[in-house]
Amino acid sequence: MKNIKYLIIIIVLVLMSSVKSNAQYNNEVFLSYNLGLPLGDSKDYVSTLSYIGTEINLKRFVKPNVSLSISFSWNVFYKESSDMISLPNADVSGKQNRYINTVPMLAGAQYYFGRNTNGIRPYVGANLGALYLGRRLQIGVYDITENTWHFMLQPEAGLIFNLNDYSDAVIGLSYNYGTSSTSSITGKSVSESWIGLKFGYGWKNGMFY
């Protein structure tokens, strides 16, 4: 946790300095609160909504209607469960705490519809990159954690609200898919997928100087 905290702080500082030094480019830093609705194998493991998540996203507008982005985000899915776990030659039951910790690190491009100065602008985008994933199972006195890396795809769509010359707000919907790997907890090949909903605030360049 300590490392993640420092990583986020460093990223924020780096991105802010980037905004200042590249003022001639139309850059924008977004911070968002993220919700996650698990799907597929992720839902089988933790079926409940993740309301714990955040994202930092740096966008560079290379054209008025096109931006390139780098983003780091995080969502944790948690469920207390008593469901039986079926393995190839065993069944296990007991009170469990199940976690999926997701840290997508993505690069992508977005296209914006409409004029770039005022009002509300719909956008669509596609991101790809790496997903750092932690699965954790606490059952009885046992605690099993596995950390894995996955290739990740993330199509997205949303609305950007121009608040003023210095800031935007954003609402975005995304489909998140991490490629499969074998879980040492369940012994099965699982992929990760979830629907993400974010509410963000963006600082345009010129904000911090």
CB of 90 to another protein, least distance (A): 5
CA distance 35 to 175: 12
Interface ranges with another protein (CB under 8 A) = 1-2, 4-5, 8-9, 12, 31-33, 52, 54, 74, 76, 78, 80, 84, 89-95, 97, 99, 138-142, 164, 166-167, 201, 203, 207-208
CB of 113 to another protein, least distance (A): 26
Q: Residue 139, Cα to own-chain centre: how many angstroms?
A: 27
Which residue number, 84 or 124, has a Cβ lying nearer to another protein? Answer: 84
Give the amino acid at 163.
L
CA distance 178 to 160: 26
CA distance 50 to 72: 17
Which residue number, 95 or 188, has a Cβ lying nearer to another protein? Answer: 95
CB of 145 to another protein, least distance (A): 11
Which residue number, 33 or 149, has a Cβ lying nearer to another protein? Answer: 33
CB of 102 to another protein, least distance (A): 13
Neighbours of 80 (CB within 10 A): 11
Residue 76 CB-half CA count within 13 A: 9
